[in-house]
Amino acid sequence: MKIKKLLKFFRGKEIEITNYIFGGTSAIVTSLAIITGLNASENPRLAIIGSLLVIALADNISDSLGIHIYQESEGMTARKVWLKTGTNFFTRLIVSFGFIAIIAVFPLALATYIAIAYGLATLAIFSYFIAISQNRKPVFPILEHLCIAVVVIALSKFVGDFIITAF
């Protein structure tokens, strides 16, 4: 029941839980694609950490700018636009640095599995909050979002392995 109290706290406030979930979800799926796709490269730890840093900064800024411009075009107040832009940016940054820490600390083979578990668990939590905030049963949204993430992981692994063997 604490989750319902947390959601009640966010309802009606300028800071909505969805502000955080969008950026976090983007960081999870992109990071998992990078980790699984580059795992077979020549220097995988360096390639993965470098790519995650670029994604955490450059792609995050680009994504946040796109959200910012979209919200302005929807006629939101400047305060709300900046609040949503900032929460998206910082959530995505924090989630991305979680992946970077995992890759930096653990042996790469183990880090890959830990990163996948971290990403899927975080995505499941985000999906749960979305479902609860919409008064829906969370099972289907969680399974739906996890399946999409697993497809992205599998495709990234396949593409990474293909590139290494083909070139």
CB distance 112 to 41 below 8 Å: no
Per-residue pLDDT for 160 more than 60?
yes
Which pTM was predicted?
A: 0.82
127 part of a folded domain: yes
What value does the mean pLDDT take over residues 51-63?
A: 89
66 part of a folded domain: yes
- Percent of the chain whose pLDDT exceeds 90: 38
9 part of a folded domain: no
- Condensed to tens digits (0 to 9), the pLDDT of residues 120-139 reads 999 999 999 888 888 899 99
Number of domains in the chain: 1
16 part of a folded domain: no
Q: Which domain, by its residues, includes 127?
A: 21-166
Tokens of 58: 């450059």
Please provide the DSSP assignment of 62-115 as one string.
Answer: HHHHHHHHHHHHTT--HHHHHHHHHHHHHHHHHHHHHHHHHHHHS-HHHHHHHH
- Condensed to tens digits (0 to 9), the pLDDT of residues 78-137 reads 888 898 888 889 989 999 999 999 999 999 999 999 999 999 999 999 999 888 888 899
82 part of a folded domain: yes
